[in-house]
Amino acid sequence: MSSQDHLKETNTEERFEFKKEEKSAFKSEKGLTEETVRVISEDKDEPEWMLERRLRALKQFQEMPMPTDWPGQPDLSEVDIDEIVPYIRPDIEARGGAESWEDLPEEIQDTFDKLGIPEAEKNALSGVGAQYESEIVYQNMQEQWEEKGVIFCDMDKAVQEHEEIVKEHFMTKCVPPSDNKFAALHGAIWSGGSFVYIPENTTVDMPVQAYFRMNSEGMGQFEHTLIIAEEGSEVHYIEGCSAPKYSAFNLHSGGVEVFVGEDAHVQYSTVQNWSKNTYNLNTKRAIAEKGGRMEWISGSMGSKATMLYPSTILKGRGSSDNHITIAMAGEGQDIDTGAKVYHNAPDTKSTVESKSIAKDGGRTNYRGLVHIADGAENSSTAVECDALMFDNESTSDTMPYMEINESKVDVAHEATVGKIGDEDIFYLQSRGLDDDDAKQMIVSGFIEPITEELPIEYAVELNRLVELEMEGSLG
């Protein structure tokens, strides 16, 4: 390895593996009780209706059993909500985030400097938001978009300043707390996250970015993202997530709701690199109206266990949905990801392209659902799952499920599972590459479909993270 490569590796590792001494203005007790929920709501000065929704979600969470009956699902026996700190407010003066980067405390600035947030803003992204622990600490939207009526702010601010829009959409039609136990948990103790509103016929032609960082040991992060794209609008939202190494487990249970208006287009891209003690249990869903187009681009690495299945309800005629996902699992990791699509209207279309990589005894699994309702004629779907394994100890499963209730449809599914072949390695070595570089080249080609869909700086970062995971350099 050259000194330059070593420096690149050290810098990339440093971005994700460092941690700061915990400093907070307010920290809740461990566990989940009605008192905890009331304290969170009071600290945020929320309206009564939001507290009522939190308490209703808490009741649903307490009544639901822990999910254990899915075939081959990750082991969640270590997830003990009573040992999680659900809410930590960072020590910043301005609620809703600092107005300028320089107003942030030095330790938070340093954290996000390492994660590249200021650089991302300098690269003229349309908007940048950064969440540290349970709250947004910095938010910025370029003036040119604000003048067109685009709103990009943290969810706590949206509850206060855009109350009617939030009240109408927040966990009512898209991701109700009754959806699953962790959606109910999220509804009870959510904090932070992003609110994005795009007016009719407005195209935000540069990405909007948010970054979520867990710094404290044994905490939970429960950010909520709500995106509303009105008729004829277009936006690309990118989120990145990370956490340092810790001995105690952390829990990430975010919620994402996307409303795609008629002939609107939303692309939602995620690059996640959680530490390998984190349980990543998210609920993400979109509803697409007539002619609306939804795209999910997902890269899932890190975490002890991930259960994540972005879903789209194709509600309007001619709406469409596209999923491109990559999952990578190493030693001790169980990455269970996939996609769900509900064709509820005629002439709807969906595609799912899933890539997974398993090494050192890790497990990846594609778990998907495509439902085509009676009357959704002329709908089409194509699902493709490709799995790559490095050794005989690793496991890769594919669990597609299709419910087809309409005869006039076009349905296709294919899956491949394979190991990196000795002959492929030998061929590349004969061209001057060593063993590690040959494997890296094969993997880079394998994941190219997702990197093609990301802005260049994210594509480079994703490739580098995969390379570090292959080397066992990330913990």
From CA 54, how far away is CA 255, in angstroms rounded?
Answer: 14
202 vs 370: CA distance, rounded Å: 31
Q: Sign of the CA dihedral 44, 45, 47, 52?
A: positive
The DSSP annotation for 192-257 comes to: --EEEEE-TT-B--S-EEEEEE--STTBEE--EEEEEE-TT-EEEEEEEEE----SS-EEE--EEE
Q: What local confidence, expressed as pLDDT, does residue 377 receive?
A: 97
Q: How does pLDDT run across 111-121, given as a tens digit for each residue?
A: 445 544 444 43
Mean pLDDT, range 85-105, rounded to an integer? 53
d(CA 193, CA 206): 20
More confident: 13 or 62: 62
Average pLDDT over the chain, rounded to whole? 79
User: Taking Cα atoms as reference points, which of 302, 248, 312, 292 lies closest to residue 271?
Assistant: 302
469 has pLDDT over 70: no
The pLDDT of 274-285, averaged and rounded, is 87
Mean pLDDT of 157-162: 93
* Range 229-242 average pLDDT: 86
Between these two residues, 353 and 274, which has the higher pLDDT value?
353
CB 285 within 8 A of CB 321: no
Q: Mean pLDDT over residues 30-46, rounded? A: 88
- pLDDT, tens digit, 9 for 90 and up, residues 283-339: 999 999 999 999 999 887 778 999 999 999 999 999 999 999 888 898 899 999 999
Helix (H, G, I), strand (E, B) or coil at 95: coil
Q: Is residue 70 over pLDDT 70? A: yes
User: 246-273 pLDDT, tens per residue?
Assistant: 445 678 889 999 999 999 999 998 877 7
Whether pTM > 0.95 for this model: the answer is no
Beta pairing, strands 208-213 & 135-141: unpaired
**Following DSSP, what letter does each residue of 325-380 receive, concatenated?**
EEEEE-TT-EEEEEEEEEE-STT-EEEEEEEEEE-TT-EEEEEEEEEE-TT-TTEE
Domain boundaries, the chain: 3-471
